């Protein structure tokens, strides 16, 4: 008989993230090969896990076409050398694809149906710009279900500024600059590199190179420079390239396990899943989505926002994170939030980003035995939010000196 189980995040890795487009480092690299590279790297790092024991592989992509199509979980598992007895599936929840892959596989482990699973995501926004293969139903606009601007994420970000005038462009600019600075500091301290899987690439001249770090970083960013940037989503607007995540290519993958498998295989989990939730909001202001999803996840866990010691919030736009912090009464510069920066600097390859948040939270947990709970949360296109609360297995109960 299957029994309910704890769900553990055992490990996670990702490719370095590349700028989307012809000048980006992955322009000549297939999306599915990015997943395969990450998957091989993860399994090599966890060689004690028998490949034939993986119960399922869930890989997310927003644009499921071309080299991001063909049931990604199954096709990439075969390409990565997993036994053909290992099944797989594809998942799509726009920006929260990988997060949904983790919660779906986690739920399957939690009810005792699976022991081990892989969950991740990929987005090659150079090959597959968001919405490029989509044909939205005309009823959305004709019957006024959704404003046409709701399909443009930058427009939705401007609308959060409209709704909360005290969340000014200056605050967003400062948040964007700080993200760049924090990512650079994390790189210089060697915090991010251990979880990156190098990827061999070919440039336009056919020369081989090795992608070893995130390509989109701009550590030299200043407030003066940000103040002068164009506002592409609205004349005299407040959202700029400096306060938005850049278009990005990249893949992420995680290994999840149940309590019995952890014990049997002698695994050392990095996090335990406590609760998760997804919520819907008006598509026109999709950026506030993580507020209700976090409230739901906290209620499920019997926790309050004050119990969360570390936050990894996806920086789709600076204003989106600021609206979350403002709602929960958290300062813009709170050191618990995005300690090593976020998507404004490293990029946001849509369906891959949820697991990047988890990888960073897991690494921070290892350094912080004084912190018991952490949150990974993100907004989702078409008006959704996703949140997962995690417990730190290294927690000692002793306060930090």
128 is catalytic: no
Please give the C-alpha separations between residue 66 and each of 32, 95, 127, in angstroms, as whole numbers: 10, 19, 9
Residue tagged active-site, from 124, 128, 161, 379: 379
DSSP conformational letter for 204: T
Let me know if 348 is a catalytic residue: yes
Closest residue by Cα to residue 363 from 117, 99, 14: 14
189 CB burial (10 A radius; 0-12, 13-18, 19+): exposed
Q: Which residue is catalytic, options 124, 128, 161, 348?
A: 348
Q: 95: Cβ–Cβ under 8 A, 6 or more apart, which residues?
A: 62, 314, 316, 348, 350, 351, 353, 354, 378, 379, 380, 381
| DSSP label at residue 330 | -
356 burial via Cβ count (<10 Å: 0-12, 13-18, 19+): buried
Token pair, residue 39, equals 């998957």
Under 8 Å CB-to-CB from 334, ≥6 apart: which residues? 311, 325
Active-site residues: which are they? 95, 348, 379
């Amino acid at each position: 008989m299957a029994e309910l189980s704890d769900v553990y995040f055992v490990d996670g890795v990702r490719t370095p993230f590349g700028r989307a487009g012809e000048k980006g480092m992955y322009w000549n690299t297939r999306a599915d090969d990015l997943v395969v590279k990450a998957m091989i790297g993860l399994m090599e790092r966890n060689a004690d896990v028998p490949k034939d024991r993986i119960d399922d592989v869930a890989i997310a992509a927003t644009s499921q076409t071309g080299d991001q199509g063909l049931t990604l979980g199954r096709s990439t598992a075969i390409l990565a050398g997993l036994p053909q007895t290992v099944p797989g599936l594809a998942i799509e929840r726009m920006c929260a694809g990988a997060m949904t892959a983790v919660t779906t596989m986690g739920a399957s482990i939690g009810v005792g149906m699976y022991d081990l699973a892989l969950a991740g995501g990929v987005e090659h926004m150079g090959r597959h710009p968001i919405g490029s293969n989509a044909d939205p139903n005309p009823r959305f606009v004709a019957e006024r279900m959704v404003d046409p601007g709701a399909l443009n994420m930058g427009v939705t970000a401007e609308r959060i500024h409209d709704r909360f005038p005290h969340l000014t462009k200056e605050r967003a600019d400062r948040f964007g600059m700080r993200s760049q600075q924090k990512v650079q500091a994390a790189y210089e301290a060697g915090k991010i590199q251990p979880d990156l899987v190098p990827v061999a690439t070919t440039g336009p001249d056919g020369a081989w190179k090795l992608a070893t770090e995130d390509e989109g970083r701009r550590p030299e960013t200043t407030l003066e420079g940000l103040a002068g940037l164009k506002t592409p989503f609205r004349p005299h607007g407040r959202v700029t390239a400096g306060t938005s995540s850049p278009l990005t290519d990249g893949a992420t993958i995680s290994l999840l396990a149940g309590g019995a498998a952890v014990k049997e295989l002698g695994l050392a989990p990095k996090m335990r899943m406590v609760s998760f939730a997804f919520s819907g909001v008006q598509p026109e202001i999709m950026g506030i989505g993580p507020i209700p999803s976090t409230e739901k996840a906290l209620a499920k866990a019997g926790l309050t926002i004050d119990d969360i010691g570390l936050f990894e919030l996806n920086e789709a736009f600076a204003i989106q994170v600021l609206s979350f912090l403002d709602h929960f009464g958290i300062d813009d510069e709170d050191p618990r939030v995005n300690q090593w920066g976020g998507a404004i600097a490293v990029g946001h390859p849509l369906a891959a980003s949820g697991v990047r948040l988890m990888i960073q939270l897991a690494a921070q947990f290892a350094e912080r035995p004084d912190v018991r709970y952490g949150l990974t949360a993100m907004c989702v296109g078409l008006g959704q939010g996703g949140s997962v609360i995690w417990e730190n297995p290294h927690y000692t109960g002793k306060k930090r000196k």
